Each structure stands twice: as C-alpha cells, then as structure tokens.
Amino acid sequence: MDVRIGDILYMKKPHPCGKDTFEVLRTGMDFRLRCTGCGREIMVVRSKAEKSIKRIERKEND
C-alpha cells in the first residue's frame, strides 16, 4: 500500500475522541499518525494500520 507523509488516512475505527481521520507523520516499518481531532500522536505497526485503512486522501504536492 502506498502511504506517504502528509496523507490523510480514513480508518475503520475512530479514535476515542470521535474522529476517524489521521495525518501521516512518518512511514517505515511502523506509522506515526496524528489524530486530526485532538492532535494526539500514535505509533502503529504498518501491517495493522494497513488493514484498518478505509481510504487515503492525498495531499497535493506544491
């Protein structure tokens, strides 16, 4: 799955704050994601994160 820094991920399950969108801050063997609702940052193993992604919204490159 092609996930890039700056992408917005729509996940199957929401964060406890209620939002289901996360911004990608880092990629690799795991992802660092920031909740777009409360701003909390989390680290998720890549395989687990890829299973829970519904949709990817690309950030336009300048």
pLDDT in tens, 33-53: 999 999 999 999 999 999 999
pLDDT of residue 61: 62
In the chain, % of residues over pLDDT 70: 95
C-beta of residue 54 within 8 angstroms of C-beta of residue 11: yes
In which element (H, E) is residue 49 found?
helix 46-51
The amino acid present at 19, given as its one-letter code, is K
Torsion of CA 50, 45, 34, 51, to 10 degrees: 20
pLDDT of residue 44: 95
pTM of the model: 0.87
Here the tokens at position 12 are 């199957």
In the chain, % of residues over pLDDT 90: 89
pLDDT of residue 43: 96
